[in-house]
Structure 1
Amino acid sequence: MESFTERVIHIIQRIPSGKVMTYGQIGQLAGSPRGARQVVRILHSSSKKHDLPWHRVINAKGEIGIKAEGAAEHQKAMLESEGITFTGRNTIDLEAYRYHPEIF
């Protein structure tokens, strides 16, 4: 059986271009309904190692959650290059862009 971390990585790897998922949504699909913070930790520690499309993961408000200087702008530019438009400074319409995967 896969660990929670392995399931999170598996889910994130499959988010298609032009779509996003939320930290909480990924945590829930991976088996931990309250695992959003764990997803953040996994993204931080494993994005480079597993070549994860980290930019396709946002918070439950449809906002870019990264606060590091320059990183939010980089994430926004990457999402815009995939056709995602922003309704606010760093906010997207989750109804339009949220990815709803089939069972993993």
Structure 2
Amino acid sequence: MSKVYSSILTICTGFLFLNIIFDKEWMIYTSLAIGTLSLLSKKIADLIVRGWYRVGSILGYVNSRILLSVIFFVVLTPIALLKRTLTGSGLDLKKEHLSYFKKRDHLFEKSDFEKPW
């Protein structure tokens, strides 16, 4: 079975499943129309599948933005505000030393570079 007809079968099955849930008669007719038109012409089946994939990509684009925004504002922002109020800023802005550079007197050998991790 080709990928196009597999997608058509999924679309028709989805409409039939939605009919069971929502009890809307037009979903049965939509499923029958899509299935019949797809069996009659391969070009129509390709158009239906391309349209279905386009609708899916648009929904994916919108849903990902909505879900990521909700997660950011509902989960991450309160955690960040709570951390900031309890512990203060994460930056160490107090200059206690002129430099934090540590001198290291080490003579590098070949074995230091063989397995760095």
Given the two structures, how large is their TM-score scaled by the length of structure 1? 0.22
Structure with higher helix content = 2
Given the two structures, how large is their TM-score scaled by the length of structure 2? 0.20
